């Protein structure tokens, strides 16, 4: 009986051993495929798209334009300096007594503050051929414009301005010589008001051509300083314009009954057949607006140098507050001047006439 029991136990033990070995074999087989399936997961190509986005980021901060802006700034500076081209010689004072400009359009001006060139030590400026521009302020200075349409302005007295051949524009003050030479020139002389003693003469020689000569003079009563301007238009149909500012003289008791004065103007060669004589009258602020009540003409034989002349006198009536006033100027010519040879104009009308004569 115990033999049967022993055999049954042996058979049960072998059966359990066989079952255990089968269980181990099963677990080993399942673990191996799990390891095989986990290996492909880390092979996923994730870093490749990250590398493609990198160049996009580097393209944005490309700042190649900044050095381009820096190079443009210094290039603009010399362009501004060279903008006004000067043909001919750029005049520069170096202390010489003579300044010379070459052929071409020369410009001689002062600094931006003064706008006047004070070339101390210089006595002569030769601008040469070309359409030149010179504005100077120095006594006893000679400026020669040369051939071309020159513009010369002398702001100090005792200067000589010579425009040369061409349609020139000249302007000067007392004790000056203004020469236009051949061409249709425009010449203006401004006299100080009131006249001062020992004031020298100013001479205008316009030369051949249809010239416009304007003389600006302030007239004050009881002022007789003699001749201040001698003007010659030369050959051609010239226009003489006298711009006279007349000051009133208050009426006084037991004093002079008429105030007399001189313009100091003498026209040397008026041709009644082709020349024009204009008179433009103005008044200081506060003065009474009076027109001439009469114009008288007195013919004189004159001196041998200039020949016969006509003394023209403008007469103004007095009022309750100012006395009568007379002022005169002299016109040389072959013919006796009459009222038909004089045109009284308003300031705007005189400017229009001068512009037409120049053109």
**pLDDT digit string, tens, across residues 71-125:** 444 455 434 333 333 334 444 444 444 565 555 555 555 443 444 444 555 578 8
Please tell me which of 128-142, 175-189, 239-253, 274-288 the model is most confident about, judged by mean pLDDT: 175-189
- Token match 């103005």: residue? 282
Is there a domain that residue 114 lies in? no
Residue ranges making up the domain that contains 21: 2-80
- Confidence (pTM): 0.66
User: How far is residue 266's CA from residue 269's CA, in Å, rounded to a whole number?
Assistant: 9
| Burial 204-230, CB ≥16 within 10 A → b, else e | bbbbbbbbbbbbbbbbbbebeeebbbb
pLDDT of residue 240: 98
In degrees, rounded to 5, the angle at the alpha carbon of residue 86 between the alpha carbons of residues 103 and 209 is 50
User: How far is residue 270's CA from residue 273's CA, in Å, rounded to a whole number?
Assistant: 9
For residue 8, give the 3-state DSSP assignment.
Answer: helix
**pLDDT digit string, tens, across residues 214-235:** 999 877 666 655 568 999 999 9
Burial label, 297 (beta-carbon count in 10 A; 0-12, 13-18, 19+): middle
Higher-confidence position of 314 and 250: 314
pLDDT of residue 206: 98
Is there a domain that residue 323 lies in? yes
Is there a domain that residue 308 lies in? yes
Is there a domain that residue 275 lies in? yes
- Token match 């010589």: residue? 177
Higher-confidence position of 233 and 258: 233
Of 323, 239, 236, which Cα lies nearest the Cα of 277?
239
Q: How many domains does the chain have?
A: 2
pLDDT of residue 279: 96
Domain boundary among 36, 51, 80: 80
pLDDT of residue 247: 82
- Token match 């802006």: residue? 69
Domain boundary among 80, 99, 132: 80
* pLDDT for 146 beyond 50: yes
* pLDDT for 356 beyond 60: no
- Token match 């041709």: residue? 271
Residue 227 gets which letter from DSSP? -
Higher-confidence position of 279 and 334: 279
Is there a domain that residue 134 lies in? no
pLDDT-above-70 percentage for the chain: 58
Is there a domain that residue 173 lies in? yes
Is there a domain that residue 59 lies in? yes
- Token match 């008044």: residue? 283
Phi, psi angle pair for 279, to nearest 5°: -125, 125
**pLDDT digit string, tens, across residues 38-82:** 555 555 454 554 444 545 444 455 445 554 444 444 455 434 333
Burial label, 288 (beta-carbon count in 10 A; 0-12, 13-18, 19+): exposed
Contact 149, 131 (CB under 8 A): yes
Residue 337 gets which letter from DSSP? P
Same domain, 224 and 353: yes
Higher-confidence position of 296 and 105: 296
Q: What is the distance between the terminal CA atoms of the chain, rounded to a whole angstrom?
A: 162
* pLDDT for 132 beyond 70: yes
Same domain, 76 and 186: no
- The chain-wide mean pLDDT, for the chain, equals 72
pLDDT of residue 348: 60
Same domain, 179 and 309: yes
Is there a domain that residue 33 lies in? yes
Higher-confidence position of 112 and 310: 310
Same domain, 218 and 72: no
Domain boundary among 31, 65, 80: 80
pLDDT of residue 14: 52
* pLDDT for 185 beyond 90: yes
């Amino acid at each position: 009986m115990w033999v049967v029991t022993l055999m049954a136990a042996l058979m049960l033990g072998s059966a359990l051993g066989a079952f255990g070995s089968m269980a181990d074999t099963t677990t080993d087989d399942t673990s191996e495929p799990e390891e095989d399936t986990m290996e492909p997961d880390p092979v996923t190509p994730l870093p490749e798209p990250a590398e493609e986005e990198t160049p996009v980021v580097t393209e944005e901060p490309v700042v190649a334009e900044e050095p381009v802006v820096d190079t443009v700034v210094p290039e603009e500076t010399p362009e501004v300096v060279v903008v006004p081209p000067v043909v001919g010689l750029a005049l520069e004072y170096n202390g010489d007594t003579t300044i010379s400009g070459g052929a071409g359009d020369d410009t001689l001006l002062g600094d931006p503050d003064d706008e006047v060139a004070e070339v101390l030590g210089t006595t002569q400026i030769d601008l040469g051929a070309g359409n030149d521009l010179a504005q100077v302020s120095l006594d006893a200075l000679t400026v020669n414009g040369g051939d071309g349409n020159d513009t010369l302005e002398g702001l100090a007295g005792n200067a000589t301005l010579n425009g040369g051949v061409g349609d020139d524009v000249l302007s000067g003050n007392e004790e000056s010589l203004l020469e236009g030479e051949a061409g249709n020139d425009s010449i203006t002389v401004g006299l100080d008001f009131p006249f001062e003693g020992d004031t020298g003469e100013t001479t205008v020689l316009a030369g051949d051509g249809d010239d416009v000569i304007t003389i600006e003079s302030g007239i004050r009563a009881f002022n007789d300083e003699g001749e201040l301007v001698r003007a010659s238009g030369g050959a051609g149909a010239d226009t003489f314009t006298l711009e006279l500012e007349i000051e009133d003289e208050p009426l006084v008791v037991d004093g002079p009954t008429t105030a007399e004065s001189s313009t100091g103007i003498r026209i040397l060669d008026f041709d009644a057949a082709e020349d024009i004589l204009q008179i433009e009258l103005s008044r200081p602020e506060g003065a009474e607006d009076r027109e001439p009540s009469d114009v008288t003409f007195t013919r004189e034989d004159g001196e041998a140098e200039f020949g016969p002349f006509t003394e023209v006198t403008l007469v103004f009536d007095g009022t309750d507050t100012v006395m009568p006033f007379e002022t005169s100027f002299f016109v040389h010519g072959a013919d006796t001047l009459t009222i038909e040879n004089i045109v009284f104009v308003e300031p705007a009308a005189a400017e229009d006439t001068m512009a037409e004569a120049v053109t």
